[in-house]
Amino acid sequence: GAVVSQHPSRVICKSGTSVKIECRSLDFQATTMFWYRQFPKQSLMLMATSNEGSKATYEQGVEKDKFLINHASLTLSTLTVTSAHPEDSSFYICSARVRVTGELFFGEGSRLTVL
Amino acid sequence: ELKVEQNPLFLSMQEGKNYTIYCNYSTTSDRLYWYRQDPGKSLESLFVLLSNGAVKQEGRLMASLDTKARLSTLHITAAVHDLSATYFCAVSTTSGTYKYIFGTGTRLKVLA
């Protein structure tokens, strides 16, 4: 199946710093990528939809100024957690949509720990 | 608002037994997906179901879709320990922009 690469897989940072997570589709062009957040033993919560060349669409309750999403090319989307707080600690997963089949493929996930 | 519910939320079963996980969704959708997640890992795609009556099988897992009932099932046949994981169904909607909404997940534990 299609490959989506996400990194870093783990990151620990101090409160107040910013962290960038990258999501790349390695063998296909992804016009649409999605960013999810997952708390322990819970389902995936859609944060935003990232469209190449345009502004991301954020879900209700997700702060766009805190979670900056950029989809600069057909193979790369980035999520930047700005001024991180401990409550931002979570597992963040990106996914990319294959245009023809509509199937979603997921990155490996990034575990963020804010101290 | 599109909602996706799964049941049971937690399932503990003996090896060799059969069981079914159910996925209900609230509005019409064009596709339904099943994923597996191991602890600390991301999601692995299992099945994509595209039409009413679709049935797909891979090993001990079989997924089906009834779009009229807005119901999908994931059937486990003769469970083995390696199937222990969390299983998610997800539904996509094409109203407006594409959006994929995930079910609550079913944590499956197969006891040896």
How far off is chain A from B48, nearest CA to CA, in Å?
Answer: 7
Q: Has residue A1 got a pLDDT over 70?
A: no
pLDDT of residue B31: 84
pLDDT digits (tens, 9 = 90+) for B42-101: 999 999 998 888 999 999 999 999 999 999 999 999 999 999 999 999 998 766 667 888
Cis previous bond, B39, omega within 30 = no
Which of B35, B41, B92 is facing A102, going by the closest CB pair?
A: B92
Say if residues B19 and B77 touch (Cβ distance below 8 Å). Answer: no
Mean pLDDT of chain A: 92
Please name the member of B42, B45, B99 whose beta carbon is closest to the beta carbon of A93: B42
